[in-house]
Structure 1
Amino acid sequence: MTTTTAPLPVNPDSWTVPLGYDQGQLRTGPLALLTVAAQASVDEEGRLVHDGDVAAQLALALTNLERVLAAAGMSAADLASLRVFTTDLVALDDVWDTLVEHLAETGARPPTTVLEVSRLSVPGVVCIEALAARPLP
């Protein structure tokens, strides 16, 4: 296989594209791989910000994710997958465009899974866990 500079979208059906993600992405060649622990709407001290505002929480969680990517020399374009955790799927669905619009600005469309869980370490928070990969030079 040859190395690609950008992930190749794999979408047997196109219904996920307007939702902001590909069903799969193919990356080939030697890769640098970054695993990112769940990022949330917390400040530099780990304190919850935007309690009760799911859209603002989602936006800050994305910003925090991008800070981790930048610290590793990566960007949203390198996102290989996202997992979004919430305790209130209905509330998250109502503001999903926050994530779609944010990622569209970066050109990223990582395969994404959304999970509603009964409890998170910080009550009421939205968390985003990620995997990023880029070809090695």
Structure 2
Amino acid sequence: MNSLKTYLAVGLGSGLGSVLRYGVSLASQAVLGSHFPWGTLIVNVLGSGLIGWIAATALRAPRGQLAHWHPFLVAGFCGGFTTFSVFSLESLYFITLGQAWLGLLYVLVSLPLWLLAAMAGERLASRRGFTAE
């Protein structure tokens, strides 16, 4: 991918990921309520799993289609879909509400889940016999 196409791919992927993140956030509030930021937790766990899978799959087939789409999928879509900034703001919000314990719980639950999801995505991609070519 040339430079301009790469930037456009990242921008398009980011926009699509952001729109989907917003939709997941609204749907989770409607279904699970707004007392806890379920939408952010969900997108960050799903996005971590997806990025782990994409990175491992592209590494196994560096000339395959998935590797070609890496800027669109990783920096673009996953970058737009997941959000550390909103996670930080939501954590701070709990503190301003006088619920620091809930903010701490959110951090302590989120980080391990993100790492486990990334590991699960990587392991899924590393299964014997799977290629993305």
Q: Same fold (TM over 0.5)?
A: no
Higher-strand-fraction structure: 1
The structure having more radius of gyration, on CA atoms, is 2
User: Normalised by the size of structure 1, how large is the TM-score?
Assistant: 0.30
Higher-helix-fraction structure: 2
User: Normalised by the size of structure 2, how large is the TM-score?
Assistant: 0.31
